[in-house]
Amino acid sequence: MDMPHTLRHARLGEAKTRSGETPLEAAKYQFVVFAAIAALTLVADSLILTMVYRTCFTADDQYKPPSMR
């Protein structure tokens, strides 16, 4: 039985993915994409919390009931 090309090489650095990159290079790209998504999520959550905070609290950090908003 013939083994797939990626399994013929013993060392991780020598194996190639279907796109021609090593698994280590693919993992680096995955980490960059993950870090970008995490950073964008952090920014979006910060903006949402800031807007909610400004809507629900006064300048003196007191809670504003819905009738006062």
Domain ranges of the chain: 25-69
Tokens 């504003």 — which residue?
64
Q: Is this model's pTM higher than 0.85 or not?
A: no
The pLDDT, as a whole number, for residue 12 is 56
pLDDT of the chain, 69 residues: tens digit per residue: 555 555 555 555 566 667 677 888 889 999 999 999 999 999 999 999 999 999 999 999 999 999 888
- Number of C-beta neighbours around residue 16 at 10 A: 15
R_g of the chain computed on alpha carbons: 25
Q: Let me know: does 27 contact 33? Beta carbons within 8 Å.
A: no
The pLDDT, as a whole number, for residue 21 is 78
The pLDDT, as a whole number, for residue 55 is 94
CA distances in angstroms from 37 to 23, 48, 63, listed in the order given: 21, 16, 33
Task: State the amino acid at position 37 in one-letter form.
Answer: I
The pLDDT, as a whole number, for residue 23 is 86
